Structure 1
Amino acid sequence: MIELLPATTHRRERWKNGGGWTREILRFPADGAWDWRISVAEVGCDGPFSPFPGCEREIVLISGQGMELHFADGEMHRLVPPHGRLRFSGERPLTALLVDGPTVDFNLMWKRDAIDAQLLHRPIVGSMLFFGEPDVTWVLYVLAGQVRTPAGVLEVGDAARIAIPPGERRVIEGGGEVLLAKLQPANPAAQG
């Protein structure tokens, strides 16, 4: 199954502090408290990040000149173009300082006790093959170029949810760059 998630359908909400906007791409489950959530943030000014206790986060700079992430414990990380990224715990207090104007950032958040997540940045030149795995959901986000799927064409800023039954496979094609989030239930044996 491939579900297209065009940019025009991503719900856009103003931040409570007025410093930016979030466009939610997808969350699971769709209603109530989520186990994972994918969104794009439009950051308009310096300010603190909202805390997400019990969650892991990974952000990727999509556009803009970048930002400095200042953690309360003194650590600093700079996201730089073209696609600087950082994975960190949602509990860690931090403040973002914009380098030179607004940024747009891809955000993947997941509850660490419920979900195992990987975020991959890949070029797509020609075909890309996905094999079905039990309980695995892929979310594809187009950074550059165009992607053709059996369900339709994706442009920059569009996304798709891909869930393939075990033993089956799906092919997508195109040219450009994508982010691929691989999401699956956490392995309780691996916890702790």
Structure 2
Amino acid sequence: MHPFDVETLTAGRWRNGGGATREIVSWPVGAEGFAWRASVADIDRDGPFSAFPGVDRTLTLLAGDGVRLTSPGAFDRLLDQVGEPFGFSGDLALSAELPGGACRVLNLMVRRGSRTARVERVTGTVTPAAGHAGVLYVLRGRWRAGADGRLMTGGQGVWWDADDEAPGRAVAPLSPDAAALWADVAPAR
């Protein structure tokens, strides 16, 4: 498992100036195109989102009052509950509105036909399936990850690839208030 702390990840500004992205992982690492990618985005103002043709996306609110995502003729959705994922096609023209000011989201993207993804809020032990990749992002509380027993708190987490060894990959809560997001990335069938 590969640890991360969002606050130590390099933030890259969006081309339209509406936010910044902190990349957790883009797999395969160093490749021109990704099979799957996880990042944390700070959305600073209303505006368009970039399209990602051939990609399925899942956004999950991490902090702030929320973001309204609109794609004409497809959906108009207010994400205002921390930890509630929303999946949509990256092919769609999309705009964001911030009814309560800036917010932070987890953005998971998978190349359609190559991978599928499921994001859920968890409060109990997570053991990734062999052959699956993914990310565990701590929302609150204390967690322990992997065979080395790495301790994590809010804004920290781990990611793994399908080729990482399965033994010892369980991630477990250590406090009664523990909550996390688990993004399971599976090979497409």
The TM-score with structure 2 as length reference comes to 0.87
Where do 1:100-179 residues align within 5 Å?
Answer: 100-124=100-124, 128-130=125-127, 132-133=129-130, 135-149=131-145, 150-151=147-148, 152-162=150-160, 165=165, 168-173=167-172, 174-175=174-175, 176-179=178-181
More strand per residue: 1 or 2?
1
Secondary structure, in 3 states, of the residue corresponding to 1:92? coil
In 2, Cα distance between the equivalents of 1:142 and 1:36?
Answer: 20
Instruction: Confirm or deny: 8 A CA contact 1:35 1:115 kept in the other structure.
Output: yes
1:60 alignment counterpart: 60
TM-aligned CA distance change 1:132 to 1:56, over 3 Å: closer
CA RMSD in angstroms, aligned pairs only? 1.8
Give, in angstroms, the shift of residue 162 of structure 1. 3.7
2:17 alignment counterpart: 18
Secondary structure, in 3 states, of the residue corresponding to 1:100? coil
Which segment is superposed worse, 28-37 or 115-124? Answer: 115-124
Secondary structure, in 3 states, of the residue corresponding to 1:183? strand
- Bigger Rg over Cα: 1
The residue type paired with residue 41 of structure 1 is A
TM-aligned CA distance change 1:57 to 1:121, over 3 Å: same
Where do 1:62-81 residues align within 5 Å?
Answer: 62-73=62-73, 75-81=75-81
1:96 alignment counterpart: 96
Secondary structure, in 3 states, of the residue corresponding to 2:106? strand
Secondary structure, in 3 states, of the residue corresponding to 1:5? strand
Secondary structure, in 3 states, of the residue corresponding to 1:37? strand
Instruction: Confirm or deny: 8 A CA contact 2:83 2:120 kept in the other structure.
Output: no
In 1, Cα distance between the equivalents of 2:139 and 2:111?
Answer: 25
In 1, Cα distance between the equivalents of 2:185 and 2:74?
Answer: 31
Describe the superposition over 1:124-171 as per-residue Cα deviations: whole angstroms up to 9, x where unpaired.
3xxx252652x21231111111211233111211121245646x4543
Give, in angstroms, the shift of residue 5 of structure 1. 1.8
Secondary structure, in 3 states, of the residue corresponding to 1:130? coil
The residue type paired with residue 187 of structure 2 is P
Secondary structure, in 3 states, of the residue corresponding to 2:170? strand
Structure 1: tracts of 5 or more residues without a match = 188-192
In 1, Cα distance between the equivalents of 2:120 and 2:16?
Answer: 31
TM-aligned CA distance change 1:118 to 1:81, over 3 Å: closer
Give, in angstroms, the shift of residue 68 of structure 1. 1.2
1:190 alignment counterpart: none
In 2, Cα distance between the equivalents of 1:118 and 1:131?
Answer: 12
TM-aligned CA distance change 1:116 to 1:75, over 3 Å: closer
Instruction: Confirm or deny: 8 A CA contact 2:84 2:121 kept in the other structure.
Output: no
Describe the superposition over 1:89-132 as per-residue Cα deviations: whole angstroms up to 9, x where unpaired.
001111111111101011000111111211121113xxx25265
